[in-house]
Structure 1
Amino acid sequence: ICKMSLNFILIFLASALFHPSLSLSPVLPKDVTQPLEILLDQAVAQYHAKHWPQSVSLFEKALVNYKMSQHAAVACIGRCKAANISREIEEDLQEFPLLKAVGDLVAQASCIKICSEEHPFGSLSTQVLRKDIARDVEARKPYNYLQYAYHKMNLIKKACQAAFTYYQIHTDKEDAKANLDFYRSLPGVKPSYFTDLEADASYQLFVEGAAAYEEKKYGVVVDKIEKCLISFFKAVSDCDSLCYKPVEMITFHKFMKAITEQYYRQISCALKCEDKLSPVVHGQKQQNFVAQCFSYLQFAYYSLGKYEMAVPAAATVFLLDPEHSNAKSNLDFYESKAEEYKLIPSIHFQPRADGVKFHAHKLKNLKFVEDAQMMFGDLEEEELPENEAETENEDTNKHDEFVDE
């Protein structure tokens, strides 16, 4: 293997690697699969022309397009992360770590390419978006257009949903809050109209769990918050996957710097996932969300007399958020009651496995970012520049003019 050239390996990998079998059936109308930027550009044009039905239709298609592109990307990246050169050439490259690293990266890129070709919506996941489009979709701008257009079409429930969805990541924007206040003032509008259309299942589960906590329905708290954690961990994992980008072919002598820089951007992106996905409840972003969930579980299990479940939850809170006001005192309390509650220190006072895994992954990413900065010093995250040719006039999405109607 020492005589095998790098070019041979790369050519071999480029020819054909993994052939994932996907059984999804495409069910979307043909025009939904147009390039996302075309759909959005047309939607904005129709919006400014005050062609509300046409604008709404195009924005809705654009959002479906984006969702399906994310679905395909998560599916293919998840399938291909473990792709490696050794499986294909049946050679052990452990003695050649740099060569193996190159081969593994190309294997992953090739796997993703093949998967995208076979996935029913794979072509959507390979779209290279204009940076202003990527930024606007990430910022949920289509929903700000939609809430106004829905209102013009007298689709008030949909307008409330769109306005609330936009507000959830723009709680500091006065216009976004003013729009919510406007919709709440309309006759016949129900609180149930205000739902976050982009929230994953963990949001509603957390809201229901927190409400049950206030009502001291601790069995419900356990059910909802345990499910919430499962859903949230899955959402963070998917978010991590969407940060991944297949490596581009680079010159060998710049390999280490280029690969480090690419991973730095990927991991910097992944480190934002927890905060990005943490729910906003009553206008407030939930800080240290995972630790907060375990804190709910600790007290709920304690109240149910399930001390053997409460203590690991308490230990997990302390692991994730050592500065939590009650984390240490709760553990001290359980230690004082260990004999009475039949708790075994080596078993029950250990953090839960799901919390440990989540925390370890985060620490590993933080360590990589720190080491990369120390090694190269000049690494920067990839930022989306402001759009100099901004198409949206924010004032056209406000409802001050309708307050007296």
Structure 2
Amino acid sequence: MNRGAVRPGLFSSAALLPLSTDESSFPPYDLLFDTAVEAYYKGDWMTVILNMERALRNKAAIRRVKAHCRIICANQSAFGEPLSSIVVTIPGAGSVEDLGFFQKIMKRADCVNTCESDKIGPPTIHKITEDVDLEFKKRTPYNYLQVAYFKINKLDKAVAAANTFFLANPDHMEMRQNLDYYRMMSGVQEEDFKDLEAWPHMAEFLAGKRYYSSDSFGLAIDHFEAAVEEYFSADQECRALCEGAYDYDGYNYMEYSADLFQSMTDHYMQILNCKQSCSVELASTAGKDKPFEDFLPSHFNYLQFSYYNSEKYEQAIECTKTYLLFHPEEEVMNQNLAYYSTVLGEDKAAAIPARQVVKQHIQQSLLEKELLYFAFEVFGITFVDPDSWTPADIMPLKLREKQKADRETAARITEEIGNLMKEIETMVEEKNKESTDIAKIVREGGPLLFDDIKITMSSKQLNGSQRVLLDGFISEGECRELTRLSNAAALKGDGYRGLPSPHSPSESFQGITVLKAIKFGQEGTVPLKSARLFFDMSEKVRRVLESYFRLDSPLYFSYSHLVCRSAIDEKQDDRDDLSHPVHADNCLLVSELNKCIKEPPAYTHRDYRYTHTHTHTAHAYNIGVSSKSHHAPLSLRPFSCSGCVLMTNQQRRSLRNQQRRSLRNQQRRSLRNQQRRSLRNQPKQSLKTQLITQKIKKRMRSRQRIGQKNKLLKRVKNLC
């Protein structure tokens, strides 16, 4: 917990918004949110808490009011009632039924507007921008609340707010650290880690699952039954809230033009789509990537088995029959029903019906699906059924045939992709074989040039190629001298784009290059012998690597960097990171070939990386060196001040391109010469075989090209 993240401030009484008029009795929650955020940056924690909590309450209240008004107005102005005021057809005015329909629409609109205005004021006050709405969906208010509560030592509320935010933002590392910190604090209980935004039906369902898993079937029944009741209340509210304004996609409202019935169809299909999505929304919970599968039917699956274990067979039969409304052909559940009926008695079991509320829910949902599929087929309004229990015959035959054709196409594409991946794998294997052959050209194991240097681990022990672990590269005295150089001249964040802690927040890094060291030496800031030692060590590394790997071409420096890292005292608790582990250099990943190419725009690229570590001083000495025979270095200039030349970016790019072209040509010539030398050393029979093989490959490629041309000519003739 970083208590210093917020500027400290004196506690003061909260300045809530005035409530003198009717319109201000229910202030919009975006205004309350902004007031709380301003108070947060002033350190006025009580104002943060009072306004942010009120913003959350007002948002929830607006949701409830809108749902309530739409539900009661639907009941008061239900369709289908005869209109006493209209008894005869009016010539030229349309049918009586149409007039009656629109009269009901207008009455319902008036009812909803009056209801909402009476309870929360004019609707325009509560129109919220998408940005603020997104902040509430991300549960951002709880991030502010947890800090404010922590500042006034309300730990139980701080923990609940932090946990509520983290469940919706599981990748938020700072909040994860805060929660770990809270768990270590005295006075914090496990029950304090609540989800303040949890749906009531979801909380009951999860509690029921816990008791079900522990074989406490009586308690599980209570929670699952409560979950079913809460589910239908939440479903009714969710469906009512779908009856809002038409949601234009981006700026298409500027081009949208439709007649009365087309615009009604578009809007109503959008509403039905939203209502169908309620089953997904209600099956979702914070902290879970995907919604629960078959969520509503699963309640009755748990209930039938819980009632059976409680020897309540009538209720078990009721829940089993209810589950079979969703999946009538499920074999296991039909066997359960047969068993329960045998135990209770066939006649008595037959008289027990499935739950009526579920029957009505399924009937309404299926009617909505039929309308949506009709709109999909006729108007092209896309509908993706969210439920797995929908009978197949609900979808029109043409759509079923189209979906079948789409599945077959998808399967064919998948097969083609699979074949393509096999070809790529073959290419990768061939490429790896070529790389292995080239790698053999580098013959490690050459002389180390210095008696003090010893090989600790070779490439084989390090599980790779062109790797070596050497000991005794520098002496204790030289190491202390480099440490003094770093302490005197190294800058924090040098070489890491100015970031003092680029790898771990628990450590700070400081570094210096050879060029800077020599400049400081010339200025007298550091001893010139220290800068010279740094340069000599870099040169020593280059010579040893050239010799040990028996390279045919010289190595050139990309850069030399002396880096020291220091632990930050207050950030060492509960560390489990690897600080700055040894790693490969950045490169351009070609995933199809399983290769990483060391070329720009990768941040750095080099062929060999030398790291020296010392257990007492805890510093790393990194030297990047590049080989002409491998990849182009960032700079072919050795670290000699007399050779430093200032160039413009354009000149530098031109020089770099020139160097790359030169290096590529040298690489090709070097590889051809090596292949020729290799062929000369092989037996004549092998050489002859290889030459024959090359001729055969050339003929095959030629025939393939001829075959491709013939196919193309045939296609052209057919088109003509």
Q: TM-score, normalised by structure 2?
A: 0.43
Q: Which amino acid aligns with 2:211?
A: A
Larger mean CA deviation between 108-117 and 140-149 belongs to 140-149
Structure 2 residue matching 1:272: 3-state secondary structure:
helix
Q: Aligned with 1:196: secondary structure? A: coil
Whole-Å separation in 1 of the counterparts to 2:156 and 2:25: 24
2: distance between equivalents of 1:29 and 1:201?
33
Matched letter for residue 292 of structure 1 = S
Q: Which residue of 2 aligns with 1:41?
A: 34
1:111-156 deviation digits (Å, cap 9, x = unpaired): 111112333x354797222122223323322223322333343322
> In the superposition, relative to structure 1, how do residues 190 and 346 fare at CA in structure 2: closer, same or farther (>3 Å)?
same
For residues 275 and 104 of structure 1, do their structure 2 counterparts lie closer, same or farther at Cα, with a shift above 3 Å needed?
same
Q: Tell me the residue number matched to 1:130.
A: 129
Correspondent of 2:70 among 49, 73, 77: 77
Q: Which moved more, 1:207-216 or 1:56-65?
A: 207-216
Q: How does 1:202-241 map to 2 (within 5 A)?
A: 202-241=201-240
Partners of 1:288 and 1:177 lie apart in 2 by 31
Distance 1:84-1:130 versus aligned 2 partners, 3 A rule: same
In structure 1, distance between residues paired with 2:145 and 2:274 = 28
Identity %: 25
Contact 1:43 1:58 in 2 (8 A): yes
Instruction: Say if 1:257 and 1:376, in contact at 8 Å, map to a contact too.
Output: no
- Provide the secondary structure at the position in 2 that maps to 1:287: coil
Matches of 1:322 and 1:331 in 2, distance apart? 8
| Matched residue type, 1:296 | Y
1:360 is the counterpart of 2:363: yes
- Give the root-mean-square deviation of aligned CA atoms: 3.9
222-231 or 371-380, larger mean C-alpha shift = 371-380
Q: C-alpha separation between the residues in 1 aligned to 2:227 and 2:246? A: 34
Q: Which has the larger radius of gyration?
A: 2
Alpha-carbon spacing, 1:404–1:45, altered in 2? closer, same or farther (3 Å): farther
Aligned to 1:62: 55
Which residue pairs with 1:23 in the alignment? Answer: none
The match for 1:311 among 309, 314, 317 is: 317
Once the two structures are overlaid, the 10-residue window that deviates more, 278-287 or 51-60, is: 278-287
State whether residues 212 and 220 of structure 1, in contact with CA within 8 Å, keep that contact through their aligned partners in structure 2: yes
Match of 2:155 in 1: 156
Change (3 A) 1:239 1:253: closer
CA deviations 1:8-60 (Å, max 9, x no partner) are: xxxxxxxxxxxxxxxxxxxx982662222222222233334444332222211
The answer as to whether partners of 2:317 and 2:341 remain within 8 angstroms in 1 is no
Tell me the equivalent position of 2:334.
331
Per-residue deviation, 1:174 = 5.6
Q: Number of paired residues?
A: 355
What CA deviation, in whole Å up to 9, does each residue of 1:229-261 have, x standing for no partner?
A: 11121011112112212689xx99722222222
What code does the residue aligned with 2:110 have? S
1:106 touches 1:247 (CA, 8 Å); kept in 2? no
Cα shift at 1:297: 0.7
> Residues 174, 87 of structure 1: CA spacing in aligned structure 2 closer, same or farther, 3 A cutoff?
farther
- Distance in 2 of aligned mates of 1:312 and 1:143: 42
Deviation of 1:169 after TM superposition, in Å, equals 3.8
> In the aligned structure 1, how far is the partner of 2:571 from the partner of 2:103?
61
- 5 Å-filtered alignment, 1:176-215, equals 177=176, 179-215=178-214
For the pair 1:143 / 2:149, whether they are aligned, the reply is: no
Structure 1: any 5+ residue segments left out of the alignment? Answer: 1-27, 382-398
Q: Which residue of 2 aligns with 1:90?
A: 85
DSSP 3-state at the match of 2:128: coil
Does 2:372 match 1:341? no
Q: 1:351: how far off?
A: 3.7
- Choose which of 275, 280, 302 in structure 2 pairs with 1:275: 280
Structure 2, gaps ≥5 residues long? 1-16, 248-255, 385-504, 507-569, 575-720
Q: Distance in 1 between matches of 2:182 and 2:281?
A: 26
Partner of 2:303: 297
**Conserved in 2, the CA contact under 8 Å of 1:72 and 1:122?**
no
Structure-2 change in CA distance of 1:87 and 1:63 (3 Å):
farther
Residues 172-220 of structure 1 deviation map (CA, whole Å, 9 limit, x = unaligned): 6666655544433433321111222223432343343233323333222
The CA distance in 2 between the partners of 1:318 and 1:32, in whole Å, is: 50
- The CA deviation string for residues 70-108 of structure 1, in whole angstroms up to 9 with x for no partner, is 222122111112425867763379954444443332221
Structure with greater helix percent: 1
Q: Larger deviation: 328-337 or 153-162? A: 328-337
Contact 2:146 2:157 in 1 (8 A): yes
Separation in 2 of the partners of 1:358 and 1:228? 16
**Secondary structure at the counterpart of residue 256 of structure 1:** helix
Query: Kindly tell me: are residues 53 and 104 of structure 1, through their superposed partners in 2, closer, same or farther at Cα, counting changes over 3 Å?
Result: same
Structure number with greater CO (CA < 8 Å, separation at least 6) is 1
How far apart are residue 315 of structure 1 and its match? 3.1
**Length-normalised TM-score, structure 1:** 0.73
- Once the 2 structures are TM-superposed, how far is the Cα of residue 403 of structure 1 from its aligned partner? 9.1
- Would the alpha carbon gap of residues 198 and 332 (structure 1) be closer, same or farther in structure 2, given more than 3 Å must change? same
Instruction: Give the partner amino acid of 1:90.
Output: S
Matches within 5 A, 1:233-272: 233-245=232-244, 254-272=259-277
Task: Report the CA distance shift for 1:140/1:158 in structure 2 as closer, same or farther (over 3 A).
Answer: same
Partner SS, residue 259 of structure 2: helix
Question: Does the C-alpha gap of structure 1 residues 87 and 337 become closer, same or farther in structure 2, counting only changes over 3 Å?
Answer: closer
Separation (CA, whole Å) in 1 of partners of 2:175 and 2:274: 26
* Cα 1:380–1:36 shift into 2, 3 Å: farther
CA distance, structure 2, for counterparts of residue 84 and residue 281 of structure 1 = 36
Query: d(CA) in 1 for partners of 2:196 and 2:366?
Result: 31
Q: Which amino acid aligns with 1:262?
A: H
Cα distance 1:50–1:114, how it changes in 2: closer, same or farther (>3 A)? same
The aligned residue for residue 377 of structure 1 is 380
Do the aligned partners of residues 217 and 42 (structure 1) sit closer, same or farther apart at CA in structure 2, a change above 3 Å counting?
Answer: same
Q: Which has the higher strand share?
A: 2
Amino acid at match of 2:142: Y
Displacement after TM superposition at 1:368 (Å) = 3.1
CA distance in 2, matches of 1:402, 1:158: 26
* Alpha-carbon distance change, 88 to 282 in structure 1, aligned in 2, over 3 angstroms: same
Of 285, 293, 296, 1:287 maps to 293
Match of 2:604 in 1: none
Change (3 A) 1:193 1:321: farther
The 1:281–1:139 alpha-carbon spacing in structure 2 relative to 1, beyond 3 Å, is: closer
Aligned match of 1:4: none
